Structure 1
Amino acid sequence: MDGFAVIAEPSRRRIVDQLRVGARDVAGLVDTLGLSQSLVSKHLRVLREAGVVTVEVAGRRRVYRLSDEPLPDVLAWVEPYHRRWSQAFDSLADALDADRRQREKP
């Protein structure tokens, strides 16, 4: 499954958002998201198979965390836009700095 299909599902995006804050077990995700345990487990399986999350067994718990470099196809698609917008913001910052310096001249 490609990265876009993985994050197309809103519940999976919510899980990823929660894991961005820190590692969680299934019970913690169920409580936070208000979804059933079976639905959370289903989405975690999809995320794990896509390489978005990793799982560690800690006793009877399975603790999930974000992978270091998930969704390479999504990142590759977004990167040119990010670069363009960053350049535009840098240009805006330069223009504002130049304007501020011009107004500060005696």
Structure 2
Amino acid sequence: MRMLIIEDERALAEAIADGLAAEGFMAHVAPDGADGLWQALHEPYDVIMLDIMLPSLSGYEVLKRLRAARVWTPVLMLTAKDGEYDEADALDLGADDY
């Protein structure tokens, strides 16, 4: 299973990728929204883990552009933001889980 982790906190992204690799998953890391969007549009992934607060493009904007491009890869929002409106916004934009 190919996974894309779009996360700007390098240590966190590497820890997640290492944990997934230990379980047999292939995880790629994108350090900002623009790079993550490019990878998600040009490479096939089975799932995307997406932070909200990213440099260059927010996670909301990445998600919005993915869905507008008809990329239906499941997206799991991985974020420290825990407000009801944050979750509702992400799900309304097409996230599969928060």
Q: TM-score range by the shorter chain?
A: under 0.3
Structure number with greater Rg is 1
TM-score (norm 2): 0.27
Q: Hey, which of these two has a bigger chunk of helix by percent?
A: 1
Q: Hey, which of these two has a bigger chunk of strand by percent?
A: 2
TM-score (norm 1): 0.26
